[in-house]
Chains A and B, each alone.
Chain A
Amino acid sequence: MRRIAFSVFCLVAAVLALSFLLLPILAIFLRVSPGDLLGKLDDGVVRDALVVTAVTNGIAFGITLVVGTPAAYLLATRRFQGRAFVLTLCELPLVMPPAVAGIGLLAAFGRLGLLGSTLDTLGVRIGFTQAAVVLAILFVAGPFYLRPAIAAFETVDPTLLAAARTLGAGPGRTFLRVALPLAGTGLSAAAALSLARGIGEFGATIMFAGSLQGVTQTLSLAIYRQFDVDFTQALAMGALLVVLSAAVLLTIKLVPTWRRSSSTSPALFAPSISR
């Protein structure tokens, strides 16, 4: 009797949890007909937001991969004093509230910030420009790539890297031909996660870059701007972001099966981040 009661309790909990998580997502699509949603997307505000989102995320994602990958490789393969501390620093932005990220970016790059006057004399103004959006995304979403990327490189057997060196490959070729392919699965998952986080970035961006249509207003910011003006349009953009997020998630799930050859398929979220 007790066993059955417990099973029923678990089942009810599961149904409750799933319904609660799915309901808002379904509501976005069910409240207005698909035709109306699509129609609402054909609008200047949405088009501008889409372009700003694509451009800023494209740049930030590129920088994340180009800078983050070698940085992660170095942090994963070198042992040095204070390494644990450095790794924890990489994790800090992951748990930091977005508002703190925003105020921090202002304090660093804003006109009155730490580097603000230096940038000012160089004629560079960052606050409330597209560059600010890129910086906000880099700061908030970058660690979502960097930390699991370090974990992915750590799973590569150092003996294989040593073997490549004894077979005549310099450090660069060893990285490209051995480390990168073997960490590939983990890196792709990390990249997808970081991209999804970047596309959804809101708090730091609105504080540091503002919400100027066609300049700094990304889709997330446009939803916030529109929801008391045109709720249906906000819903439409919400639907668009849900589809984008789902696509990213699907990529993460499918990548390991495409890349059967890789040695690892690290657990996607928690373990690689908390390590």
Chain B
Amino acid sequence: MAALVFDVACPLRSFDLEVALEVERETFALVGQSGAGKTTALRAIAGLVRPSRGRIVLGEETLFDSERGIDRPPEERRVGLVFQEYALFPHLSVEANVGFGGRDRVHELLDRFGIAHLAPARPEELSGGERQRVALARALARDPAVLLLDEPMAALDAHTRAGVRAELQELLRELGLPTILVTHDFEDAAALADRVGVIAEGHVLQLGTPDELVAAPADAFVAGFTGGNLLHGFARAGPDDLTEVVLDGGAVVFSTDRGEGRVGVVVYPWEVSIAPAESVPTDSALNHVSAPIASLVTIGNRVRVRVGPLVGEVTAASAERLALERGRLVVASFKATGARLVPLRDD
């Protein structure tokens, strides 16, 4: 039996959260936009929200079962919840915060998280990264059977994020606890989680490893969420056993996927290559979009180049070699195998 079985329905403001999950000793990420019901799912596991029906079983213990009338109060659930803004007690020292749930392991945890020197400090004196460590130590002090992280990165500023993400990755691996984290950022989820569930309006649209989601997004929402370019068009059978898609803008692209009628074409940025317009590429790519560069955004050693409806990603070195700049006419190319067809949701 799974470490955590979660199968509940919970009314939210404008829709119902209906999620069924089984989480093993792994890190599971629930990703979706804010308001999709992610946080409610965590709060239901912790006992802070009462589902309208369903059951939650942690190990051998039933935490909630609407049919059998079981609903254990939060203080009796072995659940470590790290809140989005960490919810540290402002009137207690770091040591007292960590010791709130259990005094036995306080010093061990303070040492382990490298915050022993902060023991007498108040939360208001800490940096974002330090607060997160205190919140994690506090949640672990109760020796939880499942760890729940609500947007663990959201309260951090951009330049501490990368470091904290690496730390958290390391920690989750060491702990070997079943962990559910919720985030609106697919990159965070992909970096931290073994499996990811994409949730929208209370329903899980797709479950899989991060690689699986990227390789075969179930629909346009998942594709967009995982970072793919989404082009809308009309598909019909084309030459050479390919599918021909007439995009809404009039351009025609080819895909090796099968499809007919209204479809979404998903192209990931790393499958788009950029070349100067003068040198029409003679590679194996079937699909070419010629347009001036609309924007260039440098992220570390990569540059995101927007060409017409597409965002392509090239290395900073390539961008320099090709002298890419805004307004320059270029050709963005991608292979028919890189053009995935997904169903569009009714819109």
> A: which residues have CB within 8 A of B?
157, 159-160, 162-170, 177-178, 181-182, 261-263
Contact = CB atoms under 8 A, between A and B. Distances in A.
Q: Taking chain A's interface residues, is the majority helix, strand, or loop, or is none over half, making it mixed?
A: helix
B87 A165 contact: no
Nearest to A165: B74
A167 B48 CA distance: 12
B75 A160 contact: no
Nearest to A178: B89
A9 to B, nearest CB: 44
Contacts of B139: 166-167
A181 B122 CA distance: 15
Given A165-B48, A167-B142, 20 more contacts: A160-B87, A160-B89, A160-B90, A162-B43, A162-B83, A163-B81, A163-B87, A163-B89, A166-B74, A166-B139, A167-B75, A167-B141, A168-B75, A168-B142, A169-B75, A177-B100, A178-B89, A182-B91, A261-B91, A263-B91
A156 B260 CA distance: 56
Contacts of A177: 100
Contact of B73 (A157, A159, A165, A181): A165
Among B79, B100, B122, find the residue whose CB has the most chain A CB atoms closer than 10 A: B100
Given A157-B87, A160-B87, A182-B90, A166 B48 contact: yes
B192 interface: no
A162 B48 contact: yes
B181 to A, nearest CB: 16
Interface string B82-111: 010101011100000000111000000000
A241 to B, nearest CB: 35
Among B91, B138, B139, find the residue whose CB has the most chain A CB atoms closer than 10 A: B91
15 contacts: A160-B89, A160-B90, A162-B43, A163-B89, A165-B47, A166-B48, A166-B75, A166-B77, A166-B81, A167-B139, A168-B75, A168-B102, A169-B101, A178-B89, A261-B91
B199 interface: no
B200 interface: no
B90 A261 contact: yes
Contacts of B48: 162, 165-166
A141 B73 CA distance: 37
Interface of B: 43, 46-48, 73-75, 77, 79-81, 83, 85, 87, 89-91, 100-102, 122, 138-139, 141-142
A168 B91 CA distance: 18
Contact of A159 (B85, B138, B142): B85
Contacts of B141: 167
Contacts of B75: 165-170
Contacts of A166: 46-48, 74-75, 77, 79-81, 139
A261 B122 contact: yes
Contacts of B83: 159, 162-163
A197 B37 CA distance: 48
Nearest to A173: B75
Nearest to A264: B90
Nearest to A160: B87
B73 A162 contact: no
Nearest to A169: B75
A170 B47 contact: no
Contacts of B43: 162
Contacts of B79: 166
B101 A181 contact: no
Contact of B87 (A162, A168, A170): A162
B122 A168 contact: no
A166 B74 CA distance: 5
A263 B142 contact: no
A263 B46 contact: no
